[in-house]
Chains A and B, each alone.
Chain A
């Protein structure tokens, strides 16, 4: 083998070695990325599951609204309402928080689903129809609200 061939060979070796190192590094990086992605996916799945539990809580709230005040002290009803509390506590422990609903309408937190005429200052929230929720500071479901509208 002459010098030129040796140089050529050396060059090729370098090229392959670098390529191999790069590939190895790529794989390690890929594994790391994949790990991150897995965390993201589990988080997203959890969020999705929690999101699907929320309608159950909504139904409980609707049920609670229709029960006359005096019946709420009855043992059976009280027990049922405690189940609602239990569910709420569970969601809270999982990181789900209720979105506070004041007077001011903010599309980042609220979704307007209707209007009420003559209830108050135009553009402010008249009534909360369905609770909104946050999960780790992101809104996973905005609160559904009705907005005040002046008569004109």
Chain B
């Protein structure tokens, strides 16, 4: 069998993905990383290396280490933009006879296509090793603003690497494909791509048959590296203030700072503050110097706010260019590692006033989308259904809303949680709430709210004939079973008598989309107050339980405890009962606490009594006898 790949051939980093077990997945290279630096080198020993290995020797071999080749592929040497980029390079270039760019590596001259093909060759080899299968066909991505010549050159690079290039598609289009947009209805999708070194924004019109690029723009030099640099500059200035030493002159210290800054940036995406701790960063005549600073997320955000604002301004500009308002955008997709920064996410959300799509790793989403396209195209060629699309044949529904029953105090207890794939069944054992209760009412509920009366009741039934017993003793098993057609059967069974009752409810899946959304929204809106309500009920239930147990204790052991204590307990019970009638949670809690402490006194009084008696008999003889036994 052969496999297909999607390749995100980037200026700095290349990523690839395939379909594994029916799911698109970004894969690691031979060095164990999803990210492969787009760098090719000819080592001093004459060996060609690609990726992180080329990166590791770049410092000592700059003339034979080629990076950023994507800036030249399919372009003319004389192009003013190319000329500008050429000035930044460490390797030698010249104009080819056909007007393209030629690069010198070792003694030989290579075209940009050849260099790119070396990167793709490594990807092919790594993928074949990783997947254990031959790679047949691929889809490669390129920026939306690539012209025909650049696309043709990209395709040629793939073919030289021995790959069958099915298509070269736009990076933003791949991202939209990864999310499956436009399958059913046309949508306007904005792709916000904030990478390590560049920022791109693209507006797409995605429909079932076509994807049209409405606008594309960006900043060639704005990316995550700028965020790192801001942290480095901050540390440098702080250290200079504290120690009077300029670390920027010390290349090794700077290298450590760079790593620490990147780490701090990553950590601040999940933590609210981080420590930058670099002992022995440098030394002077006084001895070694240490660096230890705390950086909060707020500080980090204020030092980088303008960078994010610049990107948002660019988005605004692109929308204005096509006379589109931000409300006209149906979906926003986040692409690139920099979009993992909370500040970036929040600003995008704030600007569009809607949640951007970020569930697929923004660093992998383009490669994933390319892999999906590759699989779809190959499947079409071979006349089969695409792998991973089997779901369309055997459609399994998921439960849109949770199902449960009403339990003591009007609480909704979930039996089958929402998003569970059906058919499925679940059972749980419940009991009675009062002494000598001979019947229970099963109220079947649907919804996410914690209180029963806020949810929708699908039906009720009564199971009676339960033999009288103290509360909590009878065992009633409630079983929820939902079949593939969404028919729900609820059975309640008294384990003592084997008597059972049941109800059948149809259409528990088939709610309209609006109904489901409405119920979900309500649950979200009431989440806090509902939680409070539920807590109150739980507190009340706890209190009631304690009252019940205390009264029972008094009844059972009343003659063994002192009358003073008995009176105290009775008073506390009365207090708690009174408190339980109100909705004052703090009051109920404190009275519960008071009663339970008084109850402990009963325990200690009872234990101390027999002990005293025992002590009287506690002679050494008795002990020896016991130990003999």
Which residues of chain A have a CB within 8 Å of any CB of chain B? Answer: 19, 30, 33, 59, 62-63, 65-66, 105, 107-108, 110-115, 123, 129, 138-139, 142, 144, 147, 149
CA A66 to CA B289, docked complex, whole Å: 11
Across the interface, B53 reaches (CB within 8 A) one of A108, A129, A144, A147, namely A108
* A33 contacts across to B, CB distance below 8 A: 21
Give B399 Cβ to nearest chain A Cβ, in Å: 19
User: Contacts of B252 on A, CB cut-off 8 Å?
Assistant: 113-114, 129
Asked whether B43 is an interface residue with its Cβ less than 8 Å from the other chain, the reply is yes
| Cα(A113)–Cα(B55), bound, Å | 10
> Contact between B54 and A63 (Cβ–Cβ < 8 Å)?
no
Stretch at the interface among B134-142, B202-210, B280-288, B548-556: B280-288
Q: Which residues of chain B are near A147, meaning CB under 8 Å?
A: 59-60
Task: List residues of chain B with CB within 8 A of the CB of A129.
Answer: 252
CA distance A30 to B49 in the complex (A): 37
Other 10 A-B pairs with CB < 8 A, given A66-B288, A107-B43, A107-B53: A59-B278, A65-B280, A66-B283, A105-B44, A107-B54, A108-B53, A115-B59, A115-B60, A123-B44, A129-B252
Interface centre among B44, B56, B283 (most CB of A within 10 A): B56
**What are the interface flags for B10-47 relative to A under an 8 Å C-beta threshold, 1 for contact and 0 otherwise?**
00000000000100000000011000000000011000
Residues of B within 8 A of A149 (CB): 60
- In the complex, the answer to whether A62 meets B21 with C-beta atoms within 8 Å is no
Residues of B within 8 A of A139 (CB): 31
Q: Contacts A19-B394, A129-B252, A138-B32 given: A107-B57 contact, CB under 8 Å?
A: yes
B610 at the interface (CB under 8 A from A): no
Could you give 29 example pairs across A and B, Cβ below 8 Å?
A19-B394, A33-B21, A59-B278, A62-B279, A62-B280, A63-B279, A63-B288, A66-B280, A66-B283, A105-B44, A107-B43, A107-B49, A107-B53, A107-B54, A107-B56, A107-B57, A108-B53, A110-B56, A111-B55, A112-B57, A112-B60, A113-B251, A114-B252, A115-B59, A129-B252, A138-B32, A139-B31, A147-B60, A149-B60
Quick one: which of B269-284 are within 8 Å of A by CB?
Answer: 278-280, 283
* Among all A-B residue pairs, the 10 with the closest Cβ atoms: A62-B280, A111-B56, A147-B60, A112-B60, A107-B53, A112-B59, A107-B57, A107-B56, A59-B279, A66-B288
Complex contact A105–B57 (CB within 8 A): yes
Q: Is B58 an interface residue (CB 8 A)?
A: yes
Q: How far is the CA of A26 from the CA of B59 in the complex (A)?
A: 50
Least CB distance, A26 to chain B, in whole angstroms:
9
Residues from chain A with a CB closer than 8 A to the CB of B54 are 107
Is B251 a contact of A114 with CB atoms below 8 Å?
yes
Contact A142 B288 (CB under 8 A): no
Residue of A nearest to B51 (CB): A107
Chain A residues within 8 Å of B31, by CB: 139
A113's contact among B32, B61, B255, B279, by CB below 8 Å, is which? Answer: B255
B38-91: which residues lie under 8 A (CB-CB) from chain A?
43-44, 49, 53-61
Complex interface: chain A residues within 8 A of B59 (CB): 112-115, 147
Q: Is the CB of A142 within 8 A of B56?
A: yes
